[in-house]
Structure 1
Amino acid sequence: MKIANINNLNLVSVAMEALVERQEGLPGLGVYYGPSGFGKTTTVVAVANATRAYYVQMRSAWSKKTLLEKVCIEMSIPVANTVPNLLDSVCEQLAASQRPLIIDEADHAVSKSGMVELIRDIYEGSQAPVMLVGEEMLPNKLKRFERFHGRVLRWVPAQPVSLSDARLLANIYAPDLELDTAVLEMLVAISHGSVRRVTVNLVNLFEDANIRGLAAMGFDDLDRSKLYQGEAPKRSLK
């Protein structure tokens, strides 16, 4: 799968490099945050692949034991029976490999008793880079965990999709379709910052152009009824 080299990918790559290459004595935690749809998961998966980072995506039902078990599975190491033994195994593997650990959907960790402290234990026990990924309010939620908050080296706010991002995305999701700048500007304007909405609309325009036999699409060629703005269609009742 091709990944567009959009601005957020560059931001996270630079932040991860700073965590990996940090000077001795500097903390090794990072937090990448932003609204839903800003492409956070796609970018961190790309960064995980590039840096050989371990990657897990949390679920609301996970306990501390579940998180550690999932990390062990990601690491391809034996899964111990108890939380202390699981924690030791994870820390030993991270310390030995010094590969980063990325925990996506980390808002679930903040809402669970003892989960943030557990993630701090993973970092303290390994000194390997650890990056949390979550929604826009994640930094504020972490403020009440002073011992974690104070060890964050990089706070990375996800940026809204830009015109240059839209051009890069068009190369992947609407290949061989020439799109006027005015079209891309409209997609960005109605996206409210969401990379996902731009991507969905590019796919829709590409399919529409194929059906209509268009190799290029200008502003006047747009069928605005096919543009996705994140709202469910209104029902027409007669």
Structure 2
Amino acid sequence: MTKIAQTKNYSKLNDAYSKLSDKREQDDSFCLVYGAPGLGKTLCSCNVLIRANGIFLRAMPGWTQKAVVRKLLNELGQDFRGTNAEGLEEVIRLVGENQRPIFVDEADFLFNDSRCLETLRAVHDSAGVPVILVGMTTLPGAQGIDRRIKRYPQISSRITQWCEFLPADWQDIRAIAQTCCDVEVEDDLLEKLLLQSRGNFRLIRRAMVKIGRKAKLLRTQSISSAQYGDDELFFQAS
């Protein structure tokens, strides 16, 4: 399992999933995980999924109800046979028996066919398992999953956990350095990285690899901004 730093986003998702799993707290168990690209949504969700023995789907462009049913059955170790209705009944039976939560990454693609969402709603309602949808937030010029899902009250009314992933702050980047880097990264280098990455977790983790390599080259267990020098922390498109 990939090392996961105890960032605010990760803690928020853990707390949300704990509440979803507590049947005493609520019956509706949908969670929406949303945020800009590079904020660790997939990485954190997969870590929670592994611990929860969940079912993982990565939605694709052009998915239909048949694709959702087929992928669910495949993850449950079954082949897709018969009609969509028959396949869905088998999914509900198996998920209900195993009580495995369902995680859907790239869930934005489900909105191309509303029957995909209805299929997940049917499994949730009948099998009584949490469903976690992971997608992009609304950005300038693009409507994200957090806004699009409100057009479907039959789904949005079931969401009890709205888990927004935000850019890393100072506390987050220190936690990442302590977890993901084998050497001590001094504060001035962390400040530089936080500024240049704008809190993008993907870029920060990528930079930690380069920082570790540079420290190894310098044969030091602690590296500062001056020691790192003018080397790029990560590739930046011009």
Q: Distance in 1 between matches of 2:12 and 2:81?
A: 36
Letter matched to residue 124 of structure 2: Y
SS at match of 1:61: coil
The residue aligned with 1:227 is 233
Q: Distance in 1 between matches of 2:216 and 2:199?
A: 27
Deviations 1:104-127 (A, max 9, x none): 110000123422222212212222
Is the CA contact 2:19–2:25 (under 8 Å) kept in the aligned structure 1? no
Q: Distance in 1 between matches of 2:7 and 2:80?
A: 37
How far is the alpha carbon of 1:148 from its aligned partner?
Answer: 0.8
> Aligned ranges for residues 137-176 of structure 1 at < 5 Å?
137-175=144-182
How far is the alpha carbon of 1:29 from its aligned partner?
Answer: 0.9
SS at match of 2:231: helix
SS at match of 1:143: helix
Letter matched to residue 192 of structure 1: R
Which consecutive segments of 4 or more residues in structure 1 shift more than 6 A?
none
Question: TM-score, structure 1 length as denominator?
Answer: 0.89
Letter matched to residue 224 of structure 1: D
The residue aligned with 1:56 is 57
> Aligned ranges for residues 123-142 of structure 1 at < 5 Å?
123-136=124-137, 137-142=144-149
Q: For this pair of structures, how many residues does the alignment match?
A: 231
Q: Distance in 1 between matches of 2:200 and 2:25?
A: 37
Structure 1 unmatched ranges of 5 or more: none
How far is the alpha carbon of 1:35 from its aligned partner?
Answer: 0.6
Is the CA contact 2:102–2:132 (under 8 Å) kept in the aligned structure 1? yes
Structure 2 unmatched ranges of 5 or more: 138-143
Deviations 1:96-144 (A, max 9, x none): 2222111111000012342222221221222211110111121101011
Letter matched to residue 193 of structure 2: L
Change (3 A) 1:165 1:35: same
How far is the alpha carbon of 1:197 from its aligned partner?
Answer: 0.7
The residue aligned with 2:8 is 7
Q: Distance in 2 between matches of 1:159 and 1:88?
A: 38
Is the CA contact 2:103–2:134 (under 8 Å) kept in the aligned structure 1? yes
Instruction: Say yes or no: does 1:179 pair with 2:185.
Output: yes
Deviations 1:146-172 (A, max 9, x none): 111111111110122122322232234
Question: TM-score, structure 2 length as denominator?
Answer: 0.89
Letter matched to residue 20 of structure 1: S
